[in-house]
Each structure stands twice: as C-alpha cells, then as structure tokens.
Structure 1
Amino acid sequence: MAGEGPDGEIDLGVRRQVDAAVGATAIGRRTFDLGVGPWGGTPWPGVPSFVVTHRTRHDLIGDNGGTFAFDGLEAAVRRAREAAGDRDVLVLGAYVARQALRAGLLDEVRIHLVPLLMGEGTPLFAEDRAELVPVGRPVTGSVTHLRYGVARP
C-alpha cells in the first residue's frame, strides 16, 4: 500500500480511496498495543479509534489528534458508526474482525492480499463461515485488493 514494487501506483490509488472513506476505526487491543507507538496515535490522524477490549480505561488522545476509546465489541462498533457518520468504519485486527462477523456487525470484507507467506499470526476467519459477495472487480498492483459484501441470511 506504500506504492513500492511493480504497479505500486495502483496500490497508492487504493490507499487514497481507503484514506478518503475512513471515518472511524474499531481495533483490537493487541493491534492498539502494537500500533500506537509507530502510528504516533490513531491509525489515521484525527480519526477516532474504538479499541475492543475487556480492559476498559479512560479515553486517550493520541499525539496525532485522534482519540482512542476503550469498550466491548458491540459498544465499540456502535460508537464507531456514530462517529463515522456517512463514512466507513474500518476494522483492524483479525480477532476483532472475526468477532464482528459472528455478531453480524460486519457489512463488508476488504482483503489486501500480499504475496508473502508468514506462517504465523492470528488466522483471519478460522472456523467461521459466511457468504461473501464480490463488490466490484479485484484490483491488482503489487498487492491484490479484494472487496466482498457480507450476505445476510
């Protein structure tokens, strides 16, 4: 997504679309713990992030102007939707994405498929089943960008 590699400009275009659409994020506690330092605050400057956790705490203002709020899954997603208004809520973290899918809170899945096998980490949708409906066509730069709507029963 940094525009490096062959056809990197395509990846930058996808990144610009995501950046323009994000209104809030719902992230896992581990994603927060690992990301807050490198991000200098929230993943997108000035954009509120709602950390899904059982270890709640007072809101935290990041160095980049974004606010972190700590809550359970349903409350975090509800608050993120309210904060985002008509913009998108991005879910960061495989475990939170799985929880949101199970709870019927996920409308769309975007996968940025990087050609690198890491062999470890949290599986994205281990043991979960959902019907995914393609939204648009795949976009391929150095990374393949896929979008799917989550079908409702």
Structure 2
Amino acid sequence: MSEHFVGAGWSFPMRTDPGGAIALSHRDREIEESMRLVLATAPGERPMRPEFGCAVHDLVFAPVNDATAGRIRNEVLISLERWEPRIDVAEVTVTPAPDEPTVLHIDIRYSVRGTNNPRNLVFPFYVIPSEAGGPADTESDL
C-alpha cells in the first residue's frame, strides 16, 4: 500500500518534536491516533464539524449490561466506518474490565485497507454508576 494513502498527520495529543516543530505521526501510529480521536470526540464537540465523533458518550450513565455493550459496539462501528476510511473493521467486542466495574474495554479488530495485516485497538470507556445504587444499576449483566 502506498504511504500516500495512509499519510501523516499531527500527533495526538498535539506536541512538538525535538526541533520545536509540530510532531507528526506516520503510518499505523497515525491511523491508531485517528481512531482514538474519533472515539474520544462526542458529536457536537467540534463547532465546524458537529457530526464528527462517536455517540458512545451518550451512554456514560447507562447501566453496564448487554444492551449497553451492543449500543456501544454499534456506535463504534458506525463512527469508524464513517470517519476512518483507511481501515476495514473486522470485529468490535465490548467487555467489562475484570477489576474495574465502571470500565468497559472496547476491542476493535481491524486491518488497514490494502493490507492483510490484522491489528487491534483497545479503547477504555468509563461509565458513571447511578446514584440509585439498585441492583440493576450496579451489577454487570455482561
């Protein structure tokens, strides 16, 4: 695959290189940073591009259960298909962190288009438990 297709972009988070210029990311690192940026941005957060991002942020107060995991999976698939055309998403799984009841791991298995090199990215998603504290709000159904 040509390097032109993958390209280079500003590093995220933005920083400077040793020469004082804006640091750039290349190839696989640039794609991974781009994916993280899509997932970490809530729609409406960018004034000049209000549709950009992933709607998982609407689920911060949702209970940790199969329905929430399914909605997160769907939102991740939709946003990456729309905003990261350089990848083909093979699978997205959402699982609770074994030692943290308020963290869900979003495991994205993908490949860069034009390659046969499978890759994965694990993105942590943090939920805020309900103050009600009832069993449906705190127990995981996953």
What TM-score do the two structures reach when normalised by structure 1? 0.30
Rg larger in structure: 2
Q: With CA pairs under 8 Å and 6+ residues apart, which has the higher RCO, 1 or 2? A: 1
